[in-house]
Amino acid sequence: MKTILLPFLVLITTVSMAQRFSVSGLAKNEQNEGIPFATASLFKVSDSSLVKVESSTENGHFKMSGIAPEHYYLVISSVGFQKYRSVNFKLIDTNIDFDAFVLRSDNQLAEVKVKAQKPLVEVLSDKTIFNVQASLSATGTTGLELLRKSPGVVLDNNENIILEGKTGVRIFIDGKPSVLQGADLNQFLKSLQASDIDAIEIITQPSARYDASGNAGIINIRLKKDKRFGTNGSLALGYGYGRFGKVNGSVSFNHRNRKTNFFGTYSNRTGQNWSYLNFYREQVNTIFDQKAETINNNQSNNIKLGMDYFASTKSTFGFILNANLNANDNTSLSRTPIYPQNSTLPTQVLIADNTAQQHSNNLYLNTNYRFADTLGHVLNVDVDLGSYNSNRHSYQPNFYKNGTETQTLFSQIYRMKTPTDIGIFSAKVDYERPFLKGKLGMGAKLSIVKTNNTFDFYDVVDGMDAFNANRSNNFVYTEQINAVYLNYNRSHQKFDLQFGLRAEQTVSEGKLTGTQKNADAFVRRNYTNLFPSGGITYKANPNNSLALTYSRRIERPTYQSLNPFEWQLDELTYQKGNAFLQPQYVNNLKLAHTYKYTLTTSLSYSYVRDFFAQITDTTGYNRNFMMERNIADQQVINLGVSYPFQAAKWWNVYISLDAYHTAFKSEEKKFMNVKANVLSLYGQNTFSLPLKWNLEVSGWYSSPGIWGGTYVTRSQGSLDFALQKRILKEKVAFRLAFSDVFYTSPWRGTTQFGGLRITGSGGWERRTVRIN
């Protein structure tokens, strides 16, 4: 570790050789008079970080000197005037002097170059940004539902996120990787509301600055944070109805002056949700035809509090506290007729009506410091502490009846208690400075995550709980990752160069405690990997640019998939972790063309080694189990098109398309090598109607494909409508939204492993009407 850090310390002392430029302009009111002492703020487009702040002179002029080449935008503000945001611009090889920025005092912005409202999608050189508040149909939806609307994103039947044909997406919240995984992560995303989220950033080729985890890249969910001067607030209320009613609400505030910014948000969501899941299983000449419906009664509360202290024009201190409190009550009604193959009369029927209660608390505290001077030196320090606590109690009665369901043959009744506790600590430092006419970035990170998972199993006999030690266990998993990175980028004439290298050492330990003898009860690993990344961009002219990028990434097994104990879903189906599951690695190569900073066309190739395949296998004559295994390699070739454009002054269009070929190949005889050509499409039309009405028509479509390396699926889709009306000088907005009008989102697919064949289908309460 010291050997790796030594070059970093040497490079920090290197003398800068980069050239500097200036940005200047004039702030005016509607009477063409200069606005004295207006605040001009310069931000980076890449991460919206503040670079420099200047006050205008008495006649409204301002000038910022010593600015490094980069993509920027300006924000001009003054008390009593509407804030102005400029277009994005690039400082290359000359000073920039803008024309007058005209600020209006009646809260309506005079815009010469660009409208203040954010576009639905922004296509940048390193990421694509989906601005949630620009989508009317986002009204009343959850964070997980919003991901389906994002460019290139698909959700499979287990709500795994697929990006450009690949699983293994790493979720970030406000630039910080979430430690929650699997079902815990999905539950958290469902608790987030659209009103909590400012934007979703999609980064398919992350640089060395980012964690290497995530085969398909990174999705950063940026929560709202009001940065306006003065005291500001907003209130949102909503109601939705599908099969059941749902209520949501949020309130946010901030108070900012020249030294501090206090901000906070509270939101909650309560209501019932319905879903169904069917499995038609053929095993050892027997048919198991399971049909289940689940009703989930959910209440979630989200709290965000924070403060920024601007110690000087160069230094900022801050802290953020995020809290997510979630309560769920589930009732699942399951019926499984069991009958011999080639017969239509069941010999038995399994009735398993289950109930479960889960309460979870997710707390996260971040403290940060940022230093940025006018010479291009930037230092960021972050320290994070977090905890996640979940308690789940489930009751699972299994009654076997005769074929006509007139007599109970026998029963098996269980109760399970499954608390989970996760502790998180991370600290990182990032430093950036001019170097050899470019920018040199370097940093280090330490992260430690410890999870404690208990599974207590009880047999219920004559109404009394009897602890079953043979079916209970405790699994403790600790993972520490030490990382350092080096990244360099430089612009030269029409070329932008970027390359980086990240080194990560992973030390993990999993320990299973129970009465059963398991060969995989204790597994310890210690491995180090190098992750190179880089790219070259050629700007042929102001309208056309071409970029070639490469990255190597990793997807580590989750703590849930490593627990080797059996977790029973019902009497005949259980899930089992795999303590010997190895990380999967991917090499990504991508060629992209961008036209006028809007139309982006890309062709990418990815090779995934040791893919996590979700295998369903048999045990005995009537039971089956699910397990992840490194059983196959995956290849993906993807053609992507993203195009936001204005068809007319009153009509804005956004189209996102991914057409990819995916193929899985394995040497395992029981695994069926599968491949598919898949089309994924999202489109949105927004119409400006008379009397300040807006109409949105949007939808998504996914052709037949492959999920989890084994499920061959049929097509899905959804058509959504939304209306918006603004009143009271556009301070109040009413939104009415209709989702999945024709209810075409349910999934259906088949899988086969050895002698086991399953046809599955499922859906959820997607067809809803919502008003906010």
Spatial distance between the Cα atoms of 308 and 320, rounded to a whole number of angstroms = 9
Q: Are 544 and 530 in contact (CB under 8 A)?
A: no
Q: Residue 5 above 60 pLDDT?
A: no
Spatial distance between the Cα atoms of 134 and 742, rounded to a whole number of angstroms = 24
Q: What are phi and psi of 672, to 5 degrees?
A: -90, 120
Q: Residue 527 above 90 pLDDT?
A: yes
Domain 2-102 listed as CATH 2.60.40.10: yes
Residue whose structure tokens are 């049929």: 714
Name the DSSP class of 57.
-
Spatial distance between the Cα atoms of 722 and 733, rounded to a whole number of angstroms = 13
Spatial distance between the Cα atoms of 308 and 500, rounded to a whole number of angstroms = 31
Q: Specify the higher pLDDT residue, 355 or 510.
A: 355
Does 2-102 match 121-771 in CATH topology? no
The domain locations on the chain are 2-102, 121-771
360-378 pLDDT, tens digit per residue, is: 898 989 999 999 887 888 9
DSSP notation for 711-725: EEE--EEEEEEEEEE
Question: Where does the pLDDT of residue 112 fall: very low under 50, low under 70, confident under 90, or very high at 90 and above?
Answer: very low
Q: What is the CATH number of domain 121-771?
A: 2.40.170.20
Q: Are 618 and 754 in contact (CB under 8 A)?
A: yes
Question: Where does the pLDDT of residue 12 fall: very low under 50, low under 70, confident under 90, or very high at 90 and above?
Answer: very low
Spatial distance between the Cα atoms of 668 and 445, rounded to a whole number of angstroms = 38
The pLDDT of residue 115 is 39
E strands, 135-244, in order: 153-155, 161-163, 169-173, 176-177, 197-203, 217-223, 230-241
529-579 pLDDT, tens digit per residue, is: 999 999 898 888 878 889 899 999 998 887 667 766 666 666 677 677 777
Q: Residue 107 above 70 pLDDT?
A: no
662-695 pLDDT, tens digit per residue, is: 888 887 776 677 788 989 888 888 898 888 888 9
Q: Specify the higher pLDDT residue, 672 or 201.
A: 201
DSSP reduced 3-state for 600: strand
The pLDDT of residue 6 is 37
Spatial distance between the Cα atoms of 607 and 613, rounded to a whole number of angstroms = 15
The pLDDT of residue 628 is 79
Long-range Cβ contact pairs of 34-38 (< 8 A, separation 24 or more)? 34/58, 34/59, 34/60, 34/61, 35/60, 35/78, 35/81, 35/103, 36/60, 37/78, 38/62, 38/76, 38/77, 38/78, 38/81, 38/103
Residue 136, amino acid: L
Pick the closest to residue 581 from 554, 596, 561 (CA basis): 561
The pLDDT of residue 460 is 93
Beta pairing, strands 378-402 & 50-55: unpaired
Q: Residue 596 above 70 pLDDT?
A: yes
Spatial distance between the Cα atoms of 674 and 756, rounded to a whole number of angstroms = 16
Q: Which pair of tokens denotes residue 404?
A: 């006509």
The pLDDT of residue 178 is 79
Q: Which pair of tokens denotes residue 312?
A: 């000087």
Residue whose structure tokens are 């499979």: 156
Residue 116, amino acid: A
Question: Where does the pLDDT of residue 18 fall: very low under 50, low under 70, confident under 90, or very high at 90 and above?
Answer: very low
Residue 660, amino acid: Y
210-262 pLDDT, tens digit per residue, is: 888 887 888 888 887 777 778 888 888 888 898 999 898 888 888 888 788 89
E strands, 242-377, in order: 245-256, 260-283, 286-310, 315-340, 348-372
Spatial distance between the Cα atoms of 384 and 366, rounded to a whole number of angstroms = 5
Spatial distance between the Cα atoms of 42 and 212, rounded to a whole number of angstroms = 30
Q: Which pair of tokens denotes residue 282?
A: 């053929």
Residues 6+ away with beta carbon under 8 Å from 309: 259, 260, 316, 317, 318
Q: Are 499 and 486 in contact (CB under 8 A)?
A: no
Q: Are 714 and 747 in contact (CB under 8 A)?
A: yes
463-504 pLDDT, tens digit per residue, is: 899 999 988 888 888 999 999 999 998 888 888 889 999 999
Neighbour count for residue 349 (Cβ, 10 Å): 19
E strands, 571-669, in order: 573-576, 584-595, 599-619, 623-648, 651-665
Q: Which pair of tokens denotes residue 327?
A: 């309560």
| Mean pLDDT estimate for the chain | 83
The pLDDT of residue 564 is 62
Q: Are 219 and 175 in contact (CB under 8 A)?
A: no
